[in-house]
A = this chain, B = another copy of it.
Amino acid sequence: MYEVNAPPPGVAAALPVDERFMTLALEQAARGLGRTAPNPPVGCVIVQGEDVVGRGFHPRAGEPHAEVFALRDAGERARGATAYVTLEPCSHHGRTPPCADALIAAGVRRVVVAALDPNPLVAGRGVQRLRDAGIEVTVGVLESEAVRQQAGFRSLIVRGRPWVVAKYAMTLDGKVAAPREGNGVVSGLKARALAMRWRDELDAIAVGSGTLELDNPALTTRGVPGGRDARPVVFDRRALSNPQARVWREGAVLISGLRADTARHEVAGITVLRPEALPDSLTELGELDIGTLLLEGGPTLMSAFFAQGLVDEVRVFLSPKLLGAGLSPLTGRARPMHEAQALRDVTVETLGPDVLITGLLHDIPRV
């Protein structure tokens, strides 16, 4: 982290970059997680010297961008200030005018950007527009954190499909469930609370028909203040699931096989997709503005996604206990151990009795 140097008396500050302000901007951005798709979550903080004079975040598609809220918050104090933005300010007229122009008009002196916008309509043009107006621009401060926060947006705009996060809780002998048991609790309270926060932060949750039959889960977000529910996505090729199951609420999506009879589901108002194959289902979910998909299992669905290389990120809660017999999180084709797929950008964290290990199987698209 950089230190903020006080300017010598009578000399204008050199305005060094301070990562702490970008951290604040990332915290602002996080408030929009799960609400902004197909737009990115973005946060902005306006800084005068060592003081934060404005904050803003993009709350949802169709509403103004983070920079606009932060500039409004700062008012006249934006003049000569530094703006910290988690994503390159836009340079094009979308549903709102370009944020680069708003920053220029407000008279900010410097803009610090975490990461460039992979949107081909922006992709460096926002930064160029600011520089052309004489504004000093720094790019790449806490870039990895920002890119990870924007994974859904980046996946959607570059690959046309959601960023798929496989989540499971496993015992120390590699079991996610006892045989033929639904709903068995694996993790402790802290881990389960975090998993609930993910339901609030990701756009949609996917389960297979097996989980639906065994658990009849509501897939709602519980115990998160101000939380909202993710869209349930049920992979049920034969469309045999009960249209009265708890999961079927507004926004729920049934991924059915091409020839299944989905009349009962359609009558109940459920959105039905009929992709040719699993990868197509992701493209169709992307078309529904689902940027992040939380794969909550079970093993059948998880294994199908993994086998086809469709899992982008893995989040595993490890619980320090031994079960003996039970279900493995993944099954599939046999291959030697040296062909196991390694995770990148691995993080390890303890949560009460449990250990959370996360990592990526694919790179998050950048510019």
Q: Which residues of A contact B (CB under 8 A)?
A: 170-181, 184-186, 303, 306-307, 314, 316, 318-326, 328-338, 340-343, 346, 348, 350, 353, 355, 357, 359, 361
Contacts and interface: CB of A to CB of B under 8 A. Distances in A.
What 9 pairs between A and B have smallest CB-CB spacing? A174-B174, A184-B337, A324-B332, A173-B330, A321-B340, A320-B343, A323-B340, A325-B334, A321-B342
Nearest to A181: B336
Contact of A355 (B336, B337, B355): B355
Given A170-B174, A325-B335, 13 more contacts: A174-B329, A175-B340, A177-B337, A178-B335, A184-B337, A185-B337, A307-B324, A318-B318, A320-B343, A320-B346, A320-B357, A322-B343, A324-B331
A319 B343 CA distance: 9
* Chain A interface, >50% SS class: loop
Contacts of A175: 174, 328, 340
A172 to B, nearest CB: 5
B342 A323 contact: no
Contacts of A307: 324
B314 A324 contact: no
B353 A320 contact: no
